[in-house]
């Protein structure tokens, strides 16, 4: 059963439940403590040792049921077919007893030895590495290998030979074996299916997400949007957790020696009053301007989604969306659910042609007075002005007031300044101007921003 538990832990890891060696040891200890006889008890015991969040509990339960279903399955097979098997054994006067030597597929099929078949299938699975299955597409190949390992070729030759022969009994045997072979196919298929469910389901998703994270925001296909959204949300959440921790740490106080000594003078040098240094929290402010115009339409909803998630983290975030003019969207982000907020914003200003000069002037008018040395201004956009006046003086005024200006542009740097792009001109006023065209780079950059440019 030790091996059984190891296999289960492997399946669990494939289901994205992190199992560290320590937890594996705990699982073994827990299993020994409660015993293997009571499945429900074992399930509860392993669950409390291995699953460490509500999500993981759900994944654990799916995985446990899937993994240990095998035992139930083979037992059901045993019970259901015991009668039939016995009858058939009688009929063919059981000439071949269970072979002691290597596994005889024909004998097992003919004898209806389901338990033997199940065991052989397990063994073959271990031989061909069914647990290494990583992609759903490998299923048919794996099934074939599994059957080959069990000796399918020999069986097929036997069937062919029996069909050829003139003997009626032989031909009847061929038909029986052929039917049994069909059953075997179905069983092997189901077996591999289950292995894929156990080991491959999540790895495929992980691979897809890795690809998506690196994919250019503008090249995302409509059918990938939902996966992308989930990914964005997770990334933002990760940042949120990290960032929230940083802020809390900065708030802790320390002993203020100078003040303590000073106060102690009143008590003849005895430090009766202890003064703690309170760290003034320079509350950071972030102002984000997000381009939602036609030229960045593809990326816009992810930028907005990211903005929404960011808003949930940073206490003082002022958000603006712009195309031909700018609107404040902070309240929308605060009050609406994420989907409503995004569609509302896109409805209000989305998909028009950009006028950066006007948008900057709008934001400056609405928010200029609030931009001060604590404000970090983040601009998400491609810097394409449609040949309108870029209003660089407004950009300069904002840059002078703000602590930092960070411009994230989905276009590669070689395009900056070409055609109607005024990015090169704007970039001069930015503390940082970078290309950011995939979720991965967006996450990295935002993390950079939170770490470097926000006062603690």
Partner 1 sequence: MASPDSLAVSTGLPDEAPGSRTSAVSDPGASVESLIEGLGGIGYIASRRIATALYLGLHLGKPILVEGPAGVGKTELAIAASQLLGLPLIRMQCYEGLDESKALYEWKYGKQLLYTQILKDHLGRSLAEAPSLAAALEGLHQDGDLFFSEPFLEPRPLLTALRQPGGAVLLIDEIDKSDEAFEAFLLETLSAFQVSIPELGVIRAATPPVVFLTSNNVRDLGDALKRRCLHLHIPLPDQALEERIVASRVPGVEAALRRQLVAFVQALRARDLRKLPSISETVDWARALVLLHVEALDPAVVRETLNVLLKFEADIAAMDAQIGDLLAGVG
Site for partner 1, rule CB under 8 A? 18, 20, 22-23, 26, 29-30, 33-34, 40-41, 44-45, 47-49, 51-54, 56-57, 241, 244-245, 248-249, 251-253, 270-272, 274
In the complex, the smallest distance separating the C-beta of residue 238 from partner 1, rounded to whole angstroms, is 10
Structure tokens at 430: 């930015």
How far is residue 287 from each of residues 3, 199, 317, 335, 372, measured CA to CA in Å? Answer: 56, 45, 6, 18, 11
Q: With beta carbons less than 8 A apart as the criterion, state whether 356 and 289 touch.
A: no
Tell me the C-alpha distance between 161 and 167, whole Å. Answer: 11
Q: With beta carbons less than 8 A apart as the criterion, state whether 415 and 421 touch.
A: yes
In the complex, the smallest distance separating the C-beta of residue 198 from partner 1, rounded to whole angstroms, is 22
The pairing of strands 375-380 and 404-409 is parallel
In the complex, the smallest distance separating the C-beta of residue 262 from partner 1, rounded to whole angstroms, is 17
Q: With beta carbons less than 8 A apart as the criterion, state whether 253 and 279 touch.
A: yes
Q: Which of 210, 228, 232, 231 is nearest to 219 (CA)?
A: 228
Nearer to partner 1 among residue 34 and residue 425 (C-beta): 34
In the complex, the smallest distance separating the C-beta of residue 317 from partner 1, rounded to whole angstroms, is 19
Nearer to partner 1 among residue 65 and residue 164 (C-beta): 65
Nearer to partner 1 among residue 34 and residue 119 (C-beta): 34
Nearer to partner 1 among residue 24 and residue 216 (C-beta): 24
In the complex, the smallest distance separating the C-beta of residue 450 from partner 1, rounded to whole angstroms, is 16
- Distance of alpha carbon 68 from the chain centroid: 25
Nearer to partner 1 among residue 276 and residue 387 (C-beta): 276
In the complex, the smallest distance separating the C-beta of residue 253 from partner 1, rounded to whole angstroms, is 8
Question: 357: number of CA atoms within 13 Å, CB side?
Answer: 13
Q: Which of 325, 403, 317 is nearest to 360 (CA)?
A: 325
| Helices and strands, counts by H and E, the chain | 19, 8
Q: Which DSSP category does 137 fall into?
A: G
In the complex, the smallest distance separating the C-beta of residue 203 from partner 1, rounded to whole angstroms, is 21
In the complex, the smallest distance separating the C-beta of residue 263 from partner 1, rounded to whole angstroms, is 13
Q: With beta carbons less than 8 A apart as the criterion, state whether 176 and 110 touch.
A: yes
Nearer to partner 1 among residue 8 and residue 356 (C-beta): 8
Nearer to partner 1 among residue 273 and residue 389 (C-beta): 273
Nearer to partner 1 among residue 153 and residue 267 (C-beta): 267
Tell me the C-alpha distance between 211 and 205, whole Å. Answer: 10
């Amino acid at each position: 059963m030790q091996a059984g538990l190891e296999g289960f832990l492997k399946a669990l890891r494939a289901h994205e439940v992190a199992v560290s060696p320590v937890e594996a040891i705990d699982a073994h200890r827990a299993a020994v403590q409660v015993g293997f006889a009571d499945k429900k008890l074992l399930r509860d015991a392993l669950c409390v040792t291995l699953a460490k969040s509500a999500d993981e509990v759900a994944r654990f339960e799916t995985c446990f049921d899937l993994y240990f279903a095998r035992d139930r399955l083979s037992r059901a097979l045993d019970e259901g077919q015991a009668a039939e098997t016995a009858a058939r054994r009688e009929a063919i006067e059981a000439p071949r007893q269970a072979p002691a030597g290597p596994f005889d597929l024909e004998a097992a099929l003919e004898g209806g030895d389901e338990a033997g078949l199940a065991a052989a299938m397990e063994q073959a699975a271990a031989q061909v590495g069914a647990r290494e299955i990583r992609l759903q597409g490998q299923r048919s190949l794996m099934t074939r290998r599994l059957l080959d390992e069990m000796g399918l070729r020999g069986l097929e030759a036997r069937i062919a030979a029996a069909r050829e022969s003139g003997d009626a009994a032989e031909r009847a045997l061929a038909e029986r074996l052929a039917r049994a072979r069909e059953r075997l196919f179905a069983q092997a298929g189901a077996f591999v299916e289950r292995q894929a469910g156990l080991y491959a389901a999540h790895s495929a998703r992980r691979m897809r997400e890795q690809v998506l994270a690196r994919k250019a925001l503008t090249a995302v296909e409509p059918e990938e949007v939902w996966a992308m959204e989930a990914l964005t949300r997770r990334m933002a959440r990760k940042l949120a957790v990290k960032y929230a921790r940083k802020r809390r740490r900065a708030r802790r106080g320390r002993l203020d020696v100078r003040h303590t000594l000073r106060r102690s003078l009143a008590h003849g040098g005895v430090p009766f009053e202890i003064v703690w240094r309170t760290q003034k929290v320079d509350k950071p402010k972030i102002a984000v301007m997000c381009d939602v115009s036609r030229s960045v339409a593809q990326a816009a909803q992810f930028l907005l989604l990211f903005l929404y998630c960011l808003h949930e983290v940073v206490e003082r975030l002022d958000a603006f969306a712009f195309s031909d003019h700018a609107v404040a969207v902070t309240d929308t982000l605060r009050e609406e659910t994420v989907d409503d907020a995004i569609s509302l914003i896109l409805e209000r200003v989305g998909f028009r042609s950009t006028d950066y000069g006007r948008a900057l002037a709008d934001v400056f008018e609405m928010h200029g007075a609030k931009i001060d040395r604590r404000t970090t201004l983040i601009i998400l956009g491609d810097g394409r002005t449609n040949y309108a006046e870029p209003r660089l003086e407004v950009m300069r005024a904002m840059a002078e007031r703000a602590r930092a200006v960070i411009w994230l542009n989905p276009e590669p740097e070689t395009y900056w300044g070409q055609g109607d792009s005024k990015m090169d001109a704007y970039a001069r006023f930015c503390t940082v101007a970078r290309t950011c065209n995939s979720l991965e780079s967006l996450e990295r950059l935002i993390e950079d921003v939170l770490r470097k440019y926000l006062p603690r």
